[in-house]
């Protein structure tokens, strides 16, 4: 079975946080402690959405020091493929669900002297577990958190109350924006930067930092992308001899799995690299959506990340 | 004189590359001996050498074999130039500069492996990623070696094997390198048969 080992859990709590965000708490069905994780880790939640299997990654936001349960916060995406809507509409306390073991692609580099954190919207979730972890070890951090308005600023109150001089909030509706150049220029040597939020924000933060002389090794970002909806296309699996149709709202990885082929995966959001697959032939065009392959590799067209990427305009043959 | 070649051996053995000017608000250039030439070569390749020098703080000392190119570096007219007589006299200045340094500072190390390693160790201790520290080995190949038995460090080791300057054991100089200690590892060569020591040869100059 691909992916990492599974955890049998029960939904312990479902708490609306605001108009868009709901928090879910999971505990082990047998009452045992859940596996340890570190701040920034995520889990892949398996959903049985009335016959459609959905696997979505969510950052763990609870305290890594507390293994009695895991908490995630899910932002409802009304235009998405349906995973977040399923979580909001159908997941209730007492339900049995399956999670993956936690995996951390956004861990704190323990060599850093200080952590500069920049969050946009629901991108706050990995920072909640990281801050809980740092609060135990006395690590130095500074959080800049942008949300549309105070009502949609999930957990802002909690963060500001606990760390009044380390948390700075910004509201898009009030035209507030982080003075990024100023913030970046006053960080002591040995600071590592962590950014999580919308794609545009991540690109802006990383681009500005690089131009200001921050080395790439000190820059960390995380963005899970949902597989985009596209045109249906045909794929030939050379190794297993199947020819499949990938539906408009289905990812290539999901189509491969639906055909009974056990393909590797981990994050299912284009970030971890686990599902990388060789392209044997592509008559049409590869639509790369991941941020694992380098721009050069994407242009070369010899690899594809089936969790988020697609093809269009001709047959695709992959080594799977 | 160009980059001192390093024969590929084990993964632990440091490798080096020519320096290149990169964006930053402070360029901390730390060099000894022939390392000054790595710096002047980099400036010749730099698109805006004058702009680079206006943000540059040089820390320089003569190399382990006596090469002193202080005048050449000082004449470049950088924002700040500091000359120390030796590496141990240079390092406290580096630590002072690091105390106030901010992200956006870039580090360029050039010259002997002893200077490069000790500066790298101190910069790394701030949490700055070591892989982002540029290093170009020039000139002397004399080694800084830690005796793995008594832990004493001997500077400027030329021969292999050599006698530990602290405990007196005969040490074989390995390519096994410690970034944390900024030293190659020296291991007792006649532990099983005391006194049976291969003839010492000059391997480092």
Contact A189 B103 (CB under 8 A): yes
What is the CATH T-level fold of the domain A6-100, as seen in this structure? Elongation Factor Tu (Ef-tu); domain 3 (2.40.30)
Top-confidence residue, A48 or B31 = B31
Domain coordinates in residue numbering, chain A: 6-100, 114-222, 233-318
Q: Chain B contacts of A216, Cβ < 8 Å?
A: 132
Distance CA A318, CA A275 (A): 12
- What percentage of chain B reaches a pLDDT higher than 90? 95
Distance from the B62 Cα atom to the nearest Cα atom in chain A, whole angstroms: 27
The pLDDT, as a whole number, for residue A2 is: 66
Q: Tokens in use for A21?
A: 């965000």
| pTM of the predicted protein model | 0.90
Strands B134-137 and B105-111: parallel
The pLDDT, as a whole number, for residue A229 is: 84
Tens digits of residue pLDDT in B100-134: 999 999 999 999 999 999 999 999 999 999 999 99
What is the CATH T-level fold of the domain B26-137, as seen in this structure? Rossmann fold (3.40.50)
Q: Is the pLDDT of residue B68 over 70?
A: yes
Q: Is the pLDDT of residue A1 over 60?
A: no
* Residue A313: pLDDT band with limits 50, 70, 90: confident
- B48: preceding bond cis by omega (within 30 degrees): no
Phi-psi region of A313 (alpha: psi -120 to 50; beta: other; left: phi over 0): left
Distance CA A141, CA A193 (A): 10
Q: What is the CATH number of domain A233-318?
A: 3.10.20.30
Distance CA A142, CA A166 (A): 5
- Give me chain A's average pLDDT, please: 94
Helices (H) and strands (E) in chain B, counts: 5, 12
| DSSP secondary structure code for residue A270 in this structure | S
User: Which residue in A132, A141, A143 sits closest to A70, CA to CA?
Assistant: A132
Q: Which CATH number fits domain A114-222: 3.40.50.80, 3.40.50.1220, 3.40.630.10, 3.30.565.10?
A: 3.40.50.80
Nearest chain B residue to A115 by CA distance is B127
Classify residue B51 as exposed, middle or buried by CB count within 10 Å of its CB (0-12, 13-18, 19+): exposed
Out of A204-208, A227-231, B161-165, B189-193, least confident range: A227-231
Contact B103 A111 (CB under 8 A): no
B94, B59 in Cβ contact below 8 A?
Answer: yes
Distance from the B121 Cα atom to the nearest Cα atom in chain A, whole angstroms: 13
User: Which residue in A229, A234, A196 sits closest to A82, CA to CA?
Assistant: A229
- Here the ipTM equals 0.91
Residue of A111, A213, A214 lying closest to B127 (CB–CB): A111
Buried b (16+ CB within 10 A) or exposed e, A268-282: bbbbbebbbbebeeb
Q: What share of chain B is helix, strand, coil (3-state, %, to 5)?
A: 25, 30, 45
CB pairs under 8 A between A and B: 67
- What percentage of chain A reaches a pLDDT higher than 90? 84
Q: Chain A contacts of B22, Cβ < 8 Å?
A: 213
B129, A219 in Cβ contact below 8 A?
Answer: no
Distance, first Cα to last Cα, chain B: 15
- Best mutation target, A115, A190, A210, to test chain B (most B CBs within 10 A): A190
Distance CA A165, CA B18 (A): 43
Domain coordinates in residue numbering, chain B: 26-137, 143-202
Q: Is the pLDDT of residue A241 over 60?
A: yes
Distance from the B92 Cα atom to the nearest Cα atom in chain A, whole angstroms: 17
Contact with chain B for residue A182, Cβ under 8 A: no
- Best mutation target, A113, A189, A193, A208, to test chain B (most B CBs within 10 A): A189
* Residue A224: pLDDT band with limits 50, 70, 90: confident
Distance from the B40 Cα atom to the nearest Cα atom in chain A, whole angstroms: 21
Contact with chain A for residue B129, Cβ under 8 A: yes
């Amino acid at each position: 079975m691909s992916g990492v080992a599974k955890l049998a859990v029960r939904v312990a709590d479902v708490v609306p946080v605001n108009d868009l965000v709901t928090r879910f708490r999971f505990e082990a069905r047998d009452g045992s402690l859940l596996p340890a994780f570190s701040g920034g880790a995520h889990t892949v939640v398996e959903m049985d959405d009335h016959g459609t299997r959905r696997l979505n990654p969510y950052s763990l936001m609870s305290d890594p020091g507390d293994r009695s349960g895991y908490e995630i916060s899910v932002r409802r995406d009304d235009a998405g493929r349906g995973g977040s809507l399923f979580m909001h509409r159908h997941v209730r306390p007492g339900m049995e669900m399956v999670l993956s073991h936690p995996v951390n692609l956004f861990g704190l580099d323990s060599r850093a002297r200080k952590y500069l954190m920049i969050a946009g919207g629901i991108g706050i979730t990995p920072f909640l577990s990281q801050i809980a972890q740092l609060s135990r070890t006395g690590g130095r951090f500074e959080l800049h958190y942008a949300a549309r308005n105070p009502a949609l600023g999930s957990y802002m109150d909690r963060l500001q109350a606990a760390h009044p001089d380390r948390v700075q909030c910004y509201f898009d509706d009030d035209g507030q924006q982080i003075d990024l150049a100023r913030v970046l220029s006053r960080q002591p040597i040995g600071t590592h930067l962590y950014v999580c939020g919308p794609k545009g924000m991540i690109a802006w933060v990383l681009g500005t930092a690089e131009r200001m002389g921050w080395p790439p090794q000190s820059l960390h970002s995380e963005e899970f992308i949902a597989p985009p909806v596209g045109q249906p296309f045909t794929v030939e699996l050379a190794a297993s001899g199947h020819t499949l149709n990938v539906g408009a709202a289905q990812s290539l990885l999901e189509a491969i799995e639906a055909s009974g082929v056990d393909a590797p995966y981990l994050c299912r959001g284009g970030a971890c690299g686990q599902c990388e697959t060789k392209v044997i032939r592509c008559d049409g065009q590869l639509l790369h959506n991941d941020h694992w392959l380098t721009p050069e590799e994407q242009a070369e067209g010899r690899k594809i990340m089936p969790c988020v990427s697609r093809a269009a305009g001709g047959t695709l043959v992959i080594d799977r | 004189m160009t980059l001192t070649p390093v024969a590929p051996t084990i993964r632990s053995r440091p490798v080096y590359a020519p320096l290149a000017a990169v964006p930053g608000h402070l360029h901390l250039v730390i060099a000894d001996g022939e390392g000054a030439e790595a710096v002047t070569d980099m400036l010749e390749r730099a698109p805006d050498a004058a702009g680079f020098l206006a943000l540059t703080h040089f820390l320089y000392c003569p190399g382990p074999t006596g090469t002193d190119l202080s005048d050449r570096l000082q004449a470049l007219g950088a924002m700040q130039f500091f000359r120390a007589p030796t590496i141990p006299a240079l390092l406290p200045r580096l630590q002072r500069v690091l105390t106030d340094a901010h992200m956006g500072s870039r580090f360029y190390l050039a010259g002997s492996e002893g200077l490069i390693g000790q500066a790298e160790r101190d910069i790394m201790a701030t949490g700055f990623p070591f892989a982002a520290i540029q290093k170009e080995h020039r000139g002397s190949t004399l080694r800084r070696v830690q005796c793995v038995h008594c832990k004493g460090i001997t500077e400027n080791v030329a021969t292999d094997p050599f006698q530990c300057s602290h405990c007196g054991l005969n040490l074989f100089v390995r390519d096994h390198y410690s970034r944390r200690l900024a030293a190659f590892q020296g291991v007792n060569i006649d532990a099983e048969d005391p006194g049976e020591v291969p003839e010492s040869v000059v391997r480092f100059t």
